[in-house]
Amino acid sequence: SSVFQGRSFLKEKDFTPKELEYLINLGLHLKALKKHNIPHHYLEGKNIALLFEKTSTRTRSSFTTAAVDMGAHPEFLGSHDIQLGKKESVEDTAKVLGRMYDGIEFRGFKQKTVEDLAKFSGVPVWNGLTDDWHPTQMIADFMTVKETFGKIKGITLTFVGDGRNNMANSFLVASAMLGVNIHILAPKELFPEQSVIDTAKYFAKDSGSEILITDDIDKGVKGSNVIYTDVWVSMGEEDKWDERLKLLTPYQVNMEMLKKTQMPDDQLIFMHCLPAYHDTLTTTTHDVYEKYGLTEMEVTDEVFRSKYARQFEEAENRMHSIKAIMAATLGHMFIPEV
């Protein structure tokens, strides 16, 4: 049993800062077990439902491989496979799934859907990304920060791009909880919502984290250890390409921007949650590249392939961190008070 048992992870503040730190460290521990081929069957005999309204490579694969590595059975339920939201309410779906599965992952549009799944299923529910938050990504990303710099508190991270999307929201709150100085570098039109800033400020009072929201590139990146970016148009808002390209083209992460951090090489990394539009080979967006005559978007191929880049370490850490989240909340695992 553990203090985490039976709890859901729907947004960062469902856990305390100390609990988030615990999950990051547990992820690093489970990564070491995997590396040394040591079995970690903390979910023996469990059944896990994986609900996806939006597409996914990393999150789906992480939950699947994590579940199997830990002895559980994962079942993928895409939006075209089940009745959810079409022939059946979220409440009824949750009540049924909760009687069959021991835990539920949900990726989709509304935060309310994942909240309702947790409310009505009676089993732990994990948010694999909604329009508002991407909490499991935070555990992986701060594992990556800790592996690189040996610490989390006191690090400065700049999130560049759409300051109102799920990743920006999650970084504002998670960074403030963990004592990471967080800069949101975005055009004014895409500054974060006040309610998210207020939540971050509340946690920053205790953690000492500094919060900076700016549209000034020099100020936004100076002194930063991590330059982080994400797609300019998130899943579900594909009608916004014109607006976003106009607003965000000046905020492309390139070598010139990295230089503006004025950081020594061993104190600077580039991160991206992926998927990324960094070259014209990204087939799904080919028409967008053609229409706008662009060859690269939120990050240049040069930065993406540079020595600063950590996006594939991050991607791997999704699996280890998702193991930690599932093992802590559902696993046969003793965790003393955190």
Known binding-site residue numbers for L-ornithine:
166, 230, 234-235
Give the interface segment with ligand CP, choosing from 5-13, 15-23, 74-82, 269-277 (CB under 6 A).
Answer: 269-277
Task: Answer yes or no whether residue 167 interacts with ligand NVA by CB under 6 A.
Answer: yes
Question: In one letter, which amino acid is 145?
Answer: V
As given in the structure block, the two tokens for residue 217 are: 């590139």
- Total Cβ atoms within 10 A of residue 91: 13
Q: How far is the CB of 234 from ligand NVA (least distance, A)?
A: 3
Angle (deg, nearest 10), helices 166-178 and 17-35: 100
The least CB distance from residue 160 to ligand NVA, in Å, is: 13
| AA letter at 286 | H
| Binding partner selected for residue 57 from ligand CP, ligand NVA, none, CB under the kind-specific 5 to 8 Å limit | ligand CP
Residues 102-131 within binding reach of ligand NVA (CB under 6 A)? 129
Cβ neighbours of 281 (radius 10 Å): 10
Q: Residue 229 forms beta bridges with which residues? A: 160, 272
Q: Specify which residues 73 forms β-bridges with.
A: 47
Cα 150 to Cα 27, 241, 267, 293, 294: the distances in Å are: 15, 38, 11, 41, 38
**Contacting ligand NVA (CB under 6 A), which of 10, 118, 184, 235?**
235
The item of ligand CP, ligand NVA, none sharing an interface with residue 217, based on CB under 5 to 8 Å by kind, is none
Residue 273 interacting with ligand CP (CB under 6 A):
yes
Nearer to ligand CP, 106 or 120 (CB): 106
Query: Which residues of this protein are in contact with ligand CP, per CB under 6 A?
Result: 56-59, 129, 137, 273-275
Q: Which residues form the catalytic set?
A: 107, 134, 137, 230, 273, 318
